[in-house]
Amino acid sequence: MNNVYRYLLFICFLFCAASSYAGNSIIIASNDYEPYTSSKNGGEGVLLDIIEQAFKEVDLEVSYRFFPWKRCQDEVDKGLAFAATPYFKTIERQAKYDFSDPILPMFNRWFYNKENFPNGFEWTVIDDFQGYRIGGVLGYWYIADLKQLGLNPELVSNDLQNLQMLASHRIDFTIIDELTGNGLVRKHLSSSLDTIGTLEKPYDFQYSHLLVSRDYPNSEAIREKFNEGLRILKESGKYWQILIKHKVPEHFRQDK
């Protein structure tokens, strides 16, 4: 009888552990970084749509909370949020956090004014930009690399200012996330749609992930369920339909 009792207790424990997050919204922290993430309507954007639909594939719900980026990471540190997004996987971060499977690539591209380069511009190494006026954003990750190579970018406060400088021929190149830069041009510089372009070869690209807390209740089980839902989403074709909805180019596809 004792063995039966212990067995029933064990089954009950497993059921409780598996059910503790079922039916409750899983909290994810983010900030406005259009078109990937937006606080509009409680959370929208291509990345947040993918995450929400991946959870739905495994019958889980998600709630988004929006904070400045440092606060997002603090919420994860304290176990108040299951994860924050979008984040890139780094060696330093892997020592403290877990990561989901890759969700969506993010391409950082060289934006330029086509009128300055009517025959286009091809590059192989960063040194190919020597002698040109480079625009950068104060505090961005690429500034140290550019300075180390002697490019000495002109620094402004945000990406839109660099695009405005491109449009007015005050700089030759600047580095911006592809979707973010193109969105800013469409929204704020529509008269320059035909003149501001991107070089074919990207500066770099990285995959966005969920930056997962190790202190959030059942975080490992939730992470595994999310990865399963993301796999189902890609295999079913729904992943590509989300990209189509947000007018994301085909080279962002991760389901082929």
Q: Which tens digits make up the pLDDT trace of 7-48?
A: 454 444 434 444 444 458 999 999 999 999 999 999 999 999
pLDDT of residue 238: 96
pLDDT of residue 106: 93
- Listed residues 198, 226, 241: the one ending a domain: 198
Quick one: tokens of 234?
């890609």
Whether 32 and 69 share a structural domain: yes
CATH number at residue 217: 3.40.190.10
C-alpha angle 41/42/46, rounded to 5°?
Answer: 80
CB atoms within 10 A of CB 217: 14
Yes or no: say if 196 and 185 are a contact pair by the CB < 8 Å rule: yes
Whether 213 and 100 share a structural domain: yes
Closest CA to 162 of 189, 141, 144: 189
Whether 42 and 132 share a structural domain: no
* Percentage above 70 pLDDT, the chain: 90
Task: Specify if 28 maps to a domain.
Answer: yes
* Band of residue 229 on the pLDDT scale cut at 50, 70, 90: very high
* Percentage above 90 pLDDT, the chain: 80
pLDDT at residue 154 tops 70: yes
> What is the residue type of 86?
P
Task: Specify if 235 maps to a domain.
Answer: yes
Whether 8 and 77 share a structural domain: yes
* Band of residue 51 on the pLDDT scale cut at 50, 70, 90: very high
Residue 3 CB burial class (10 angstroms; 0-12, 13-18, ≥19): exposed
Closest CA to 188 of 162, 150, 211, 214: 162
Task: Name 127's Cβ contacts closer than 8 Å, sequence gap at least 6.
Answer: 149
Yes or no: say if 28 and 82 are a contact pair by the CB < 8 Å rule: yes
Yes or no: say if 206 and 101 are a contact pair by the CB < 8 Å rule: no
Residues found in the chain: 256
Domain that holds residue 181: 123-198
pLDDT of residue 15: 46
Task: Specify if 243 maps to a domain.
Answer: yes
pLDDT of residue 256: 58
pLDDT of residue 144: 87
pLDDT of residue 14: 39
Whether 180 and 217 share a structural domain: no
pLDDT of residue 4: 52
User: How many domains does the chain contain in total?
Assistant: 2
Quick one: tokens of 54?
């991946």
Task: Specify if 118 maps to a domain.
Answer: no
CB atoms within 10 A of CB 121: 18
Task: Specify the range with the lowest mean pLDDT, choosing from 57-61, 130-134, 141-145.
Answer: 141-145
